[in-house]
A and B are shown apart, each in its own frame.
Chain A
């Protein structure tokens, strides 16, 4: 077993040499060094497969990923015309500004960001390195820690193309910016390392949609890292839509830094993937900042979806709200780790964490693992967790009103996640999420 793993690490190391060669002409020294540090880190740690003493990955065994021989695509190989129509429809036409990556490479035909306010800089990360070298260097890989997180290290080592977003002070972007990562290759076993760096200036406002989807039901690994930094009093809504192939592995890390008085809303929708792990880390760096992080996961068959959310309260007068809900069927498994950390010496911290699961089969399994590290006294902190089947009393209540039992169940299943959808502050996204959840429930449960 160790033998196999070493071989696979070797594969990544030799792939790195080819990758570095290919990128050498366009990479600055700091970037080369950053990647080398990261690959050294990854070489040192390997994948976090240990089944003992590995609290971080206790419920998610990534050995299928470690054993897989995933290949890095060194050149753009897809043809946009080969993408089926349904994927174009997801681009939402005029409803969004779209930045589209196919198998890790920017697709200029599908991308449409021409109507963004001229002050805003949205470009390929590889271009940002030359357009805004100092700025990019100051922020890239400064938030998502690759020293202790092997998947982040792997992403950092192989990062090349991705989304760079800078919303300057006092700018508000009307339409959402969607960054769409599509897996289209007919080759199985590709690895992509999608990357987003988004920064907002003082009093700015924008909505980011990070959308992961696939054309084929192939097995592949999407290893995503997003860094989102909110300037003073800025406001960011972040929608993360994960609808990978049902055979895909999806590992993501989103690191969010909240500046003074900033507000962050997130909605994480997990529909696809075979093994999925999302790390969401939010740090309230500035006072008076607040976040509302939400999620819905709908799992079936043998899907395994693990959401780890860490809220670091680093400043006084900060508020966090977490609401995650899952609908589990088949033999699927969902995990929610929610950690709330409150640094010492802070005042008026208000934190609430809720995770609830609806189990639609006897074999489905939900694990909720809340953890709190509170080092201040002036803290209001609550949590709630529940897993259970459909409430028989509610079924009776609805059927006693003439509604059939199957319709009653469907109403209750949809109602279960509706509470999360209702938390969405904007009607457009509320409707969009509602439609996606309904489509998924139709697909998974036939309701």
Chain B
């Protein structure tokens, strides 16, 4: 479903992703773990097409289409969803109206039916139950004055409504207490099925106790330094990220040599 080939990305003249390659198939959950500043969010933004994240080489193939230079809205319509680590507050735009605008924009691009407010309201109510979110929040402005937990849950609500083929969840666990974490994890599990794929980006292993990944990748200094199964996440938990530093020094040595040539 997704194939990232030797992706190099720069932002503000800084080389932040240094040759990432990754394959994700339908039905899989991949976890990307790494310390702060390793490029986790940059990878998420690059997948969603955030302006300012310039692909200097490599490509992103989604569903057999090269989306490397596609606009964010094009990627969303193609079926990619990014759950933001820091969801943006949009004062003045009511959540239910935003959700319907989004749902209809995507449906329109696929020549599918657009829903009127009543039809959409029905769908929204049903999805709110899946993510266990307070319906009153949908009458408020998007994320404005929401607690950290409410913002995260709102991201998962959007995933539940848009039903993307590929969901990239950027730290869906940060700032959540254990009950909120379980509940968000529970919602993610309800939304996984054999035809979609999920990439969970996280610093800590704890969410992976509830949403069990098929593969775990360690990201350091813009590179995937090690891939493995779910046990790799436990290794990070017990021994930290320093153990992977040697992979990194070897690789940066190589890259430096390459770049000199």
Contacts and interface: CB of A to CB of B under 8 A. Distances in A.
B105 interface: yes
B254 interface: no
Interface string B71-93: 11101110001101001111111
Contact of A399 (B71, B84, B89, B92): B71
Contact of A415 (B51, B71, B90, B102): B90
B169 interface: no
Contact of A397 (B81, B84, B105): B84
Given A392-B51, A411-B98, A400 B90 contact: no
A412 B101 CA distance: 13
A422 B102 CA distance: 22
A397 B88 contact: yes
Nearest to B106: A402
B92 A400 contact: no
A421 to B, nearest CB: 9
Contacts of B129: none
Nearest to A397: B88
Nearest to B89: A394
Interface in B121-153: 141
A403 B90 contact: no
B236 to A, nearest CB: 28
B105 A391 contact: no
B105 A403 contact: yes
A397 B90 contact: yes
B88 A403 contact: no
Contacts of B101: 403, 407, 411
Interface centre among B50, B91, B92 (most CB of A within 10 A): B92
A401 interface: yes
B46 interface: no
B91 A415 contact: yes
Given A394-B88, A411-B98, A400 B82 contact: yes
B119 to A, nearest CB: 18
Contact residues of A: prevailing secondary structure: helix
A34 interface: no
A447 to B, nearest CB: 14
Contact of B88 (A393, A402, A407, A422): A393
B97 to A, nearest CB: 8
Given A399-B72, A399-B73, A402-B73, A407 B105 contact: yes
A400 B72 contact: yes
Contacts of B105: 401-404, 407
Nearest to B80: A400
Given A396-B51, A414-B92, A402 B71 contact: no
A400 B98 contact: no
Contacts of A416: 91-92
B158 interface: yes
Interface in A244-260: none
A397 B106 CA distance: 15
Given A411-B93, A412-B90, A412-B93, A403 B73 contact: yes
Contacts of A397: 84, 87-88, 90
A415 B92 contact: yes
A400 B73 CA distance: 5
Interface centre among A392, A396, A416 (most CB of B within 10 A): A396
A405 interface: yes
A20 B246 CA distance: 96
Contacts of A414: 92-93
B83 to A, nearest CB: 10
A256 to B, nearest CB: 27
Contact of B91 (A392, A407, A419): A419
B248 interface: no
Contacts of B84: 397
Contacts of B89: 394
A422 B91 CA distance: 11
A232 to B, nearest CB: 36
Given A411-B98, A418-B92, 20 more contacts: A397-B88, A399-B73, A399-B76, A400-B50, A400-B75, A400-B81, A401-B102, A402-B73, A402-B109, A403-B102, A404-B73, A405-B71, A405-B73, A411-B93, A412-B92, A414-B92, A415-B90, A416-B91, A417-B92, A418-B91
Interface of A: 391-394, 396-405, 407, 411-412, 414-419, 422
Q: 4 closest pairs, A vs B, by CB?
A: A415-B92, A418-B92, A402-B76, A401-B102
14 contacts: A392-B51, A396-B48, A396-B88, A397-B87, A399-B76, A400-B75, A402-B77, A403-B73, A411-B93, A411-B98, A414-B92, A414-B93, A418-B141, A419-B91
